[in-house]
Homo-oligomer: A and B are copies of this chain.
Amino acid sequence: MAPRSKRAPRSGSNKVRIEEVARRAGVSPITVSRALNTPEKVNETTRVAVLKAVEETGYIPNRLAGSLASNRSKTVGVIVPTVTNSIFADKIRGLGDVLSGAGYQILLGQSGYSLDAEADLVAALLAQSPSGLVLTGSTHAHRTHVMLERSGVPVVETWTSAEFPIDMQVGFSNEAAAFAVVEHLVAAGYRDLALVVAPVQDNDRALGRLEGFRKAIAHFGLRQPAPEREAAFSLRNGAEALVNILETHPDTDAIFFANDILAAGALLECRRRNIAVPGRLGVAGFDDLEIAAEIVPSLTTVAVPRYEIGSRAAQMLLARLDNAETGRRVQLDFTIMERESTRRER
C-alpha cells in the first residue's frame, strides 16, 4: 500500500535554497550559513568551496527566513516628513552610505509632517522587525512611545536636541540656532524683525526655531510683537510671506526665514519688486542649502550638518547593535554663514 500521501509542498518559487548550495559544496546547510555569515568560523577550504557553489547556483539567501530564525534583521526603519525636502534627503544619504556599508537596508517611511501618520509608520516598520529605527524630531504621538517602548528596538531621534530622548539622539538646538540668527541680525543693525517659519503643528524643529526667535526678540528688546508667519517650504510661499509682511508691517527691516527655500523665494521676489537687499531689507535663511551661496545676493543662513546627522545616527545604531558603548545624545554644531543678504552698509 502506498504511504499516506503527504500534502503538496507549498515551496514558493523555483529559487535556489541553502540546501542546494550545501549539496553542491558537499557540506551541511548550517556550514553554508556560517560560511556566509561568520566566515571566520569555517575552514578556508570549505569556505572557498561554499562560495564557489554560491556563485554557480546564483544563490541569494532569503533574509526573511534568516531574520526570523536569528531574530536579527538587516534593515533599519527611517521615518522622515518627506524626502522632497532636501535636508532630509541629505540625512538619508548619510544613513544610506553608512548602513549599506554594513549590509543593512533602509525601510523608508514618509509621515508628511503628521504625528499620527508617523505612529502608523512606526507600527508598520516595527512589523518588519527592523534592527533600529531613525525618527525625525522628538515629539511623537503617545502610542508611538508605547510601541517603541514595548518593541525594545533601538531608536535614534534626529534634528532636535531634547533633554530626554527615547533612546539615542543626533541633532542640534533649533532654538539656539534661531537665537543666533537674530543675534546676528541685531549685530548687523536690524531692529524690526519678522519671522517666517514652517507650520509648527506636529513639527518641533519649527517650533524650536519659533521659540528661539521669540526669546531673542525679548532678549534684545526688539519690536514686539514681531510679525510671524507660517509657510510650508516652497519658493512661492517665501515670496508671498515676504509681500504679506511688508504690506502689514512696512517698517520691517529684516526677515528671518526658517528655511533657505522660503528665503530664496523671498530674495527672488525682492528682485522682482526692486526691494534692496540688504539695504532696505535684511534676509536670513536656515539650512545652508547650495542655493544660499549661489543666489544673488547670497543668503545669510545657518549651516546644519544634514549629512552628518544621518551618518552619525547610523553609526550610533551600528555601535549599539555591536554592543559597543555609545553615548546617547550627540549634539552637533551649527554655523552662522554670514553672506550678502545681511551685510548692511552702516
Contacts and interface: CB of A to CB of B under 8 A. Distances in A.
Interface of A: 10, 12-15, 58, 60-65, 67-68, 71, 73, 75, 78, 82-84, 86, 89-90, 92-93, 96, 100, 103, 105-110, 121, 123-129, 146-147, 150-152, 234-236, 239, 264-265, 268, 271-272, 290-291, 293-296
Ranked 6 nearest A-B pairs via Cβ = A12-B71, A235-B294, A83-B89, A63-B127, A108-B108, A106-B108
A268 B239 contact: no
A123 B60 contact: yes
Contacts of A268: 294-296
A129 B64 contact: yes
Contact of A152 (B13, B61, B108, B150): B13
A14 B150 CA distance: 9
B110 A93 contact: yes
A271 B298 CA distance: 12
A65 to B, nearest CB: 5
A84 B82 contact: no
A105 B128 contact: yes
Contacts of A10: 71
A68 B86 CA distance: 36
Contact of A86 (B89, B93, B271, B293): B89
A128 B239 contact: no
B105 A124 contact: yes
A147 B84 contact: no
Given A268-B295, A290-B235, A296-B268, A64 B67 contact: yes
B108 A92 contact: yes
Given A63-B128, A86-B84, A71 B13 contact: yes
A301 to B, nearest CB: 15
Contacts of A295: 268
A291 to B, nearest CB: 6
Contact of A107 (B103, B105, B265): B105
Contact of A83 (B63, B92, B235, B239): B92
Contact of A61 (B15, B60, B84, B127): B127
A226 to B, nearest CB: 26
B96 A108 contact: yes
Contacts of A100: 109-110, 121, 124
A107 B58 contact: no
Contacts of A293: 236
A96 B82 CA distance: 10
A56 B18 CA distance: 39
A253 to B, nearest CB: 23
A129 B235 contact: no
A331 to B, nearest CB: 25
Contact of A15 (B14, B151, B271): B151
